[in-house]
Amino acid sequence: MKIFETTAGLGYQQKAYIVRLNQTENGYDYLCIGGDNLHRIGDYEVGKVIKDLEDFYIEDSLFVITESPLHGTFLFDWFVENYCA
């Protein structure tokens, strides 16, 4: 599974870690699985889908999936095992 990071629409030293879900008309939908200094409630909340994010705004990440706050939950572990393997 490839994990990306983005700073699009975020503040100083804020970063969101995302996983690509499906292609859309303008880009891709992504699932937010973690972040650095994410104080903003909105699009980049962990566990929410970010819609229509263009490839221009993302880059590869070294984020480790086990560092995600969602790691260990049944649905997230099933998603990783079956959808992102």
The model's confidence at residue 41, banded by pLDDT at 50, 70 and 90, is: low
pTM reported for the whole predicted model: 0.82
| pLDDT tens digit sequence for 44-82 | 888 889 998 888 889 999 988 888 888 888 888 887 787
Q: Indicate the domain borders of the chain.
A: 3-83
Closest CA to 12 of 30, 31, 38: 38
Q: What is the dihedral of CA 64, 3, 39, 70, to 10 degrees?
A: -60
